[in-house]
């Protein structure tokens, strides 16, 4: 979006991720270190907010309230989030939450309830099947940090095993929400 000359702000709590973003953007004026649970922005500042795989790692209800607070009236939140099935196995749910550090693993109805309670009005839910993804769709290069501890490669391998084994029980949904 920055390369298309939109006025953007990028937020991350992790300083390493901000360095990676700075290197990719070749500047850092639009980057802010902070928490989505306590956003360092004024009320009603943004027309559009995009969150990808963020809310599940936070107090989602608090984060959604904060997103609503900084969003202008009729603004749009687009959130891509991990979503459990309607009837998840309790042990599986605990295993997934523990491995990834999720505060919770909401199903679609729980997400919709949390979004609505934060003050968003119109909520649309989509899956990847609702979109046509071209084979040559541009992607962001995966930027591995130098000198990674081997434990992270073990974690990545475990992630792939979990993803393959439980792809029907844990998916993602795209939530489009209007304030």
pTM for the whole thing?
Answer: 0.84
Least reliable range by pLDDT among 7-16, 19-28, 54-63, 128-137 = 128-137
List the structure tokens of 94.
Answer: 């605990």
Q: pLDDT, tens digit, for every residue of 21-69?
A: 888 888 788 999 999 999 999 999 999 999 998 999 999 999 999 999 9
Least reliable range by pLDDT among 96-110, 121-135, 138-152 = 138-152
């Amino acid at each position: 979006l920055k390369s298309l000359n939109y006025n953007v702000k990028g937020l991350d709590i992790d300083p390493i991720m901000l360095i990676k973003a700075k290197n990719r953007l070749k500047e850092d004026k639009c980057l802010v270190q902070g928490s989505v649970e306590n956003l360092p922005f004024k009320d009603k500042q943004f027309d559009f907010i995009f969150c990808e795989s963020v809310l599940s790692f936070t107090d989602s209800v608090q984060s959604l309230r904060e997103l609503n607070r900084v969003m202008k009236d009729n603004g749009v939140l687009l959130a891509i989030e991990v979503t459990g099935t309607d009837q998840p196995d309790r042990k599986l749910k605990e295993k997934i939450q523990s491995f990834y550090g999720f505060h919770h693993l909401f199903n679609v109805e729980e997400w919709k309830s949390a979004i609505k309670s934060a003050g968003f009005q119109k909520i649309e839910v989509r899956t990847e099947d609702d979109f046509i993804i071209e084979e040559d769709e541009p992607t962001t290069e995966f930027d591995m940090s130098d000198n990674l501890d081997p434990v992270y490669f073990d974690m990545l391998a475990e992630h792939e095993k979990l993803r393959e084994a439980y792809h029907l029980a844990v998916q993602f949904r795209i939530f489009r929400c209007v304030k």
